């Protein structure tokens, strides 16, 4: 469950663009002819999108977010053209994958786009997301747009106030077009619910999309959004990013303020962060999301503009500790470890040294620590719903199980779990005295059948809870460290996998910098697009 649930209460224009008209700019960029070369869903998409347009949908939706931002700022494409292109693309792609939900009225969205164009004409530029479509995860509050949390209890709930990250992207000029799908209350890494149904994998629609930010990852991978936000308690920015060949970043605890909320101290395991098809795009979104908020005293008071700076850096001689399956502790589907070990060559290509390491900590204790703190948190967040028999009857069994586990805890048990969590952090801190980064797979299994609620067995070992199959992400969560999922490639069946890159405490920028360097050496997103698009 992500802690965005159950709430209480600037890229500039490329130099080549200067002095050119929009058509000349796009022609020189090789984009006006792209529609003729892209098969499938873009065929026949070359109709004019707006007066003075003539752009195919692929001209705009296939661009990286920073590239698109530069075109908008330089007025080489209009905000109306951008909105029309994305809405047309969503109409074609979303029925197949079901990633975007609560899509707003087209006329109203185009009217907002026209206002963004009028602002540019008046010299009012709101920020690098000016005029760009955005669809927050359906766990985060959006004023005027339904926030269902994937639950029948909230299927008609429309918040009156935005969450902090939504406030910030709106101020930066983004236009909210709807939401991205999530499992009920964010519980589980399979993206299905009884309100909107199942989100399907961008690369194989018979497989699951991961979760709980599954809708966000699929919308991003299929080019229905330029960037996306998500939230992460049990790998929800990492697992779906791995399953859809994009980047997902769980920032340091407190980097992105979570709220507003009626409780601002104990909710320290799950929080929000960015996703992108490039690390540069992801970092730029983080520069909008991050920064202190006086309503949330645990938020980090550091200038978020650092994430908008160039990410280039020399990594020769850097040391990486490869944790793999924790020395054989975790069961892994055949092929996962081999693929991830092969992906380590991307780090070697940029000059890193890699050693195998195992944390000095009893790993079986880590799972029990996790269960106690997760039960405690979810019971606190959703206990009020459980107390109402009518609402409890509408809750998924996993939610009831988590809450009942929390209600049975004593204060002494929660304290003991927090002390064990502290020992785990110390075990990783000692590894960081030798290593600059720690790396391990983002999942223990490849994307599986979209009709299954969870993986019940891995390599012959039965999973004893609905989320045990994602145990590999628990360590990063409990440590509160910055973690970036980077694509690791594909297996023989064409299914994606990812790597978790963990950095030292509050070293978010350093993690993004090595992710950027790895991206340049591997280029998985650019070279392996979903056949659906």
- Catalytic site residues? 137, 212, 236
Cα(253)–Cα(329) distance, rounded to whole angstroms?
27
The per-residue b/e assignment along 311-345, b for 16 or more CB within 10 angstroms, e otherwise, is beeebeebebbbbbbbeeebbbbeebbebbeebbe
Is the CB of residue 27 less than 8 Å from the CB of residue 51?
Answer: no
DSSP tag of 44: T
Beta-strand pair 271-276/496-502:
unpaired
Closest residue by Cα to residue 269 from 251, 289, 253: 253
Q: What span, in angstroms and rounded, lies between the C-alpha atoms of 449 and 289?
A: 34
* CB-based contact 477:232 (threshold 8 Å): yes
**Residue 238 host element (H or E):** none
| Lookup: tokens for 430 | 């000692």
Omega of the bond leading into 212 within 30 degrees of 0 (cis)? yes
Per DSSP, what are the bridge partners of residue 273?
230
As a whole number of angstroms, the distance between CA 477 and CA 263 comes to 19
Question: Which residues are CB-neighbours of 269 under 8 A, at least 6 positions away?
Answer: 3, 233, 373, 374, 377, 477, 478
Q: How many CB atoms are closer than 10 A to CB 527?
A: 8
Is residue 107 within 8 A of residue 241, CB to CB? The reply is: no
Helix (H) or strand (E) holding 350: none
Residue 361 is given by DSSP the state S
* The two three-digit tokens of residue 287, written as one number: 């520069």
End-to-end CA distance of the chain: 31
Place of tokens 């990812």: 498
Contact 402, 374 (CB under 8 A): yes
């Amino acid at each position: 469950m992500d802690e965005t649930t159950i709430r209480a209460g600037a890229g500039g224009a490329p130099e080549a663009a200067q002095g050119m008209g929009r058509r000349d700019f796009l022609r020189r960029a090789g984009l006006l002819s792209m529609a003729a070369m892209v098969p499938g869903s873009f065929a026949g998409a070359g109709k004019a999108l707006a007066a003075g347009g003539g752009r195919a949908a692929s001209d705009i939706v296939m661009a990286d977010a920073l590239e698109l931002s530069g075109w908008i700022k330089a007025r080489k494409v209009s905000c109306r053209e951008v909105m029309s292109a994305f809405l047309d693309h969503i109409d074609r792609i979303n029925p197949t994958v079901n990633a975007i939900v609560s899509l707003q009225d087209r006329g109203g969205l185009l009217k907002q786009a026209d206002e963004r164009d009028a602002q540019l004409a008046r010299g009012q530029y709101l920020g690098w997301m000016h005029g760009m479509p955005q669809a927050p995860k359906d766990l985060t509050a959006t004023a005027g747009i339904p926030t269902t949390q994937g639950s029948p209890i909230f299927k008609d709930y429309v918040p009156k106030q935005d969450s902090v990250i939504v406030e910030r992207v709106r101020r930066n000029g983004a236009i909210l077009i709807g939401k991205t799908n999530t499992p009920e209350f964010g519980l589980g890494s399979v993206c299905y619910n009884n309100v909107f149904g199942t989100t399907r994998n961008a690369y194989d629609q018979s497989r699951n999309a991961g979760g709980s930010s599954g809708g966000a990852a699929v919308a991003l991978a299929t080019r229905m959004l330029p960037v996306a936000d998500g939230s992460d308690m049990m790998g929800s920015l990492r697992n779906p990013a791995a399953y859809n060949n994009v980047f997902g970043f769980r920032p340091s605890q407190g980097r992105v303020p979570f709220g507003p909320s009626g409780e601002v101290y104990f909710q320290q395991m799950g929080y929000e962060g960015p996703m992108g098809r490039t690390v540069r795009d992801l970092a730029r979104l983080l520069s909008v999301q991050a920064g202190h908020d006086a309503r949330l005293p645990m938020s980090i008071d550091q200038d978020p503009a650092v994430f908008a700076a160039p990410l280039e850096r020399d990594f020769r001689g850097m040391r990486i500790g490869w944790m793999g399956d924790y020395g054989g502790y975790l069961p892994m589907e055949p092929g996962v470890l081999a693929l991830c070990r092969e992906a380590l060559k991307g780090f070697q290509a940029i000059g890193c040294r890699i050693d195998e390491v195992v944390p000095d900590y009893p790993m079986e204790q880590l799972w029990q620590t996790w269960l106690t703190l997760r039960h405690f948190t979810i019971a606190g967040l959703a206990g009020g719903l459980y107390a109402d028999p009518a609402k409890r009857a509408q809750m998924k069994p996993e939610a009831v199980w988590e809450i009942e586990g929390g209600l049975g805890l004593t204060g002494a048990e929660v304290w003991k779990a927090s002390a064990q969590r502290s020992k785990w952090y110390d075990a990783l801190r000692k590894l960081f005295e030798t290593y600059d980064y720690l790396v391990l797979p983002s999942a223990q299994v490849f994307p599986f059948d979209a009709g299954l609620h969870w993986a019940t067995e891995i390599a012959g070992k039965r999973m004893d809870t609905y989320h045990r199959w994602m145990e590999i992400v628990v360590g990063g969560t409990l440590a509160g460290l910055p973690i970036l999922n980077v694509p690791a490639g594909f297996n023989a069946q064409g299914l994606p996998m990812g790597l978790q890159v963990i950095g030292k405490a509050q070293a978010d920028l350093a993690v993004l910098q090595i992710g950027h360097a790895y991206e340049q050496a591997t280029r998985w997103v650019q070279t392996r697009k979903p056949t659906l698009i």
